[in-house]
Amino acid sequence: MSLENVVIILAGTKHPGNIGSVARAMANMGLGRLVLAAPRCRITDESYRLAKAGGPILESARVCRSLAGALRGVRLLVGTTGKSGGYRSPAAPPRAIVPRILDHAARQRVGILFGPEDTGLVDDDLRLCQLLMRIPTHRRASSINLAQAVMVVAYELFLGSLGHTPARAIRTASLEQTEAMYAQLEKALLEIGFLHTQNAQHMMFTLRRIFGRAGLESADVGTLRGIARQISWYATTQDPAGD
């Protein structure tokens, strides 16, 4: 199976050498699409020196000023994180997620998002992701280099793609559609008191994980937005006194 629809997205990368090393890892594993979201460095001669056979990937890399721009056209977004617990739970190892990525990539664009070398992805980035991925490491040395992380994920994708037959044709809702849905759901749930300022972020993150695992299609999003709209209507039109 081709990996043409899989995009590696680097957010806020600081070191030109890491960009080159990522391109080399991608080339080794048959990946060709690289997007840089709000990079804090440029592609330099060092990048090309370390890219080796990945030079053409650097030449065709798309550079975007914001993460929102980098996600344009992406239907499934998988975020990578080195941490666990809290909002980040559950984050599965690459091998567990690869089959789903490949099923989606058969017909639509899938983005795999990696954060800056020093901080990784922050919560505002992770909340955009339908799935979270965490590379298991030994507890005494859990930190891995950006290019190493990309290589591990790319290897699992390449290995999984050999002879892979997608389970079914999947066409999920766009990120723009799902973000509009989440905004409408949050508004409705605040209006009925299910959410409040102390728990809104945590609960919405939980809902994102639930719906992210479901792989919502456009019709699903439309149904959920209709429910949210009816909740808002009821919350704003009912008589508080019960008359």
Q: With bands split at pLDDT 50, 70 and 90, how would you rate the model's confidence at 150?
A: very high
User: What is the spatial distance between Cα 38 and Cα 41, in angstroms, rounded to a whole number?
Assistant: 9
Q: For residue 89, what pLDDT is reported?
A: 56
Q: For residue 94, what pLDDT is reported?
A: 97
End-to-end CA distance of the chain: 63
pLDDT in tens, 28-41: 999 999 999 999 99
Which of these, 43, 87, 73, 29, lies nearest to 209 by C-alpha position?
87
Greater pLDDT, 142 or 100: 100
User: What is the spatial distance between Cα 45 and Cα 17, in angstroms, rounded to a whole number?
Assistant: 9
> Virtual CA dihedral for 123, 130, 63, 152, nearest 10 degrees?
90
The helix/strand/coil state of 193 is: coil
Which of these, 5, 6, 69, 4, lies nearest to 36 by C-alpha position?
69
User: What is the spatial distance between Cα 60 and Cα 42, in angstroms, rounded to a whole number?
Assistant: 14
Domains defined for the chain, CATH in brackets = 6-161 (3.40.1280.10), 175-237 (1.10.8.590)
pTM score, two decimals? 0.84
User: What is the spatial distance between Cα 139 and Cα 105, in angstroms, rounded to a whole number?
Assistant: 33
